[in-house]
């Protein structure tokens, strides 16, 4: 299922000039940061990249192939992170908002923000007072700006986890990207948790 520009075009027709799609990656991981992607589209945006959809439905090669296309298609984009330590200190919801605020701070003012899901975790941490925030379940599959944000966040975070694999060998970060696979839990059991693990989470 490919995403489309129906919602963005409806918002543009209603007077919006800049629409930001927002999506997170890494929320359910045992290790590594949570990443939030933001992709801004402006009225008059060109045809969306063919086949764009939720990053989880794309192969790694397809995801990586979309990155340059999305960056040239969008008017602005950014990815923000909140670390494992921040997740432990603040909780995952606040950390999500913090990562999103960091990304939004790089793209400039927007009229509307579209979030995947049914809960606005962004506004408590980010300056959204001048924007209309829309929560939409399944937005990462159906709404072009959100699908694009999910791709950028996923590719960026996967790259970070591959880098962390070199610094923290033995956990398999490059393979499972911090998710709670049996092999990852076995590695924690054998080596103990690293400082990239979320200590307040049930790791074993």
- Whole-number Å distance between alpha carbons of 28 and 7: 28
Which DSSP state fits 145? H
Return the residue matching tokens 């986890």: 161
Residue 119's Cα: distance from chain center in Å? Answer: 15
* 170 domain residue, yes or no: no
* 100 domain residue, yes or no: yes
* 39 domain residue, yes or no: yes
DSSP strands (E only) in the chain = 18-25, 34-42, 76-82, 112-116, 132-136
- Whole-number Å distance between alpha carbons of 158 and 71: 18
* 179 domain residue, yes or no: no
Tell me what pLDDT residue 13 has: 96
Banded pLDDT at 1 (limits 50, 70, 90): confident
* 160 domain residue, yes or no: no
* 175 domain residue, yes or no: no
Across the range 113-139, mean pLDDT stands at 94
Return the residue matching tokens 């991981």: 29
Say if residue 116's pLDDT is above 90. yes
The parent domain of residue 78 ranges over 6-155
Averaged confidence pLDDT in the chain? 96
Say if residue 129's pLDDT is above 90. no
Name the percent of the chain lying above pLDDT 70.
100
Domain CATH code at residue 105: 3.30.420.10
Q: In what order do the strands lie in the sheet with 112-116?
A: 76-82, 34-42, 18-25, 112-116, 132-136
Number of domains in the chain: 1
pLDDT digits (tens, 9 = 90+) for 163-199: 999 999 999 999 999 999 999 999 999 999 999 999 9
The crossing angle, in degrees rounded to 10, of helices 60-73 and 144-167 is 120
Name the percent of the chain lying above pLDDT 90.
95
* 22 domain residue, yes or no: yes
Tell me what pLDDT residue 79 has: 98
Count of CB atoms situated within 10 Å of the CB of 194 = 18
* 1 domain residue, yes or no: no
User: If 0-12 CB within 10 Å is exposed, 13-18 middle and 19+ buried, where does residue 132 land?
Assistant: middle
- Whole-number Å distance between alpha carbons of 42 and 19: 6
């Amino acid at each position: 299922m490919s995403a489309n520009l129906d919602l963005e075009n409806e918002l543009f027709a209603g007077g919006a000039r800049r629409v930001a799609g927002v999506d997170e990656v890494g929320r359910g991981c045992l290790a590594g940061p949570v990443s939030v992607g933001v992709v801004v589209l402006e009225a008059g945006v060109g045809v969306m990249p063919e086949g764009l959809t939720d990053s989880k439905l794309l192969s790694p090669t397809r995801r990586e192939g979309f990155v340059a296309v999305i960056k040239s298609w969008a008017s602005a984009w950014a990815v923000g992170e909140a670390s494992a330590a921040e997740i432990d200190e603040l909780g995952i919801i606040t950390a999500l908002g913090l990562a999103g605020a960091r990304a939004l701070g790089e793209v400039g003012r927007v009229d509307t923000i579209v979030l995947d899901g049914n809960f606005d975790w962004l506004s408590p941490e980010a300056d959204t007072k001048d924007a209309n925030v829309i929560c939409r379940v399944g937005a990462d599959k159906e709404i072009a700006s959100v699908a694009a944000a999910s791709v950028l966040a996923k590719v960026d975070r996967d790259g970070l986890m591959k880098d962390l694999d070199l610094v923290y060998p033995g956990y398999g970060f490059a393979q499972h990207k911090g998710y709670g696979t049996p092999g990852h839990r076995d590695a924690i059991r054998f080596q103990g948790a690293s400082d990239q693990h979320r200590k307040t989470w049930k790791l074993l």
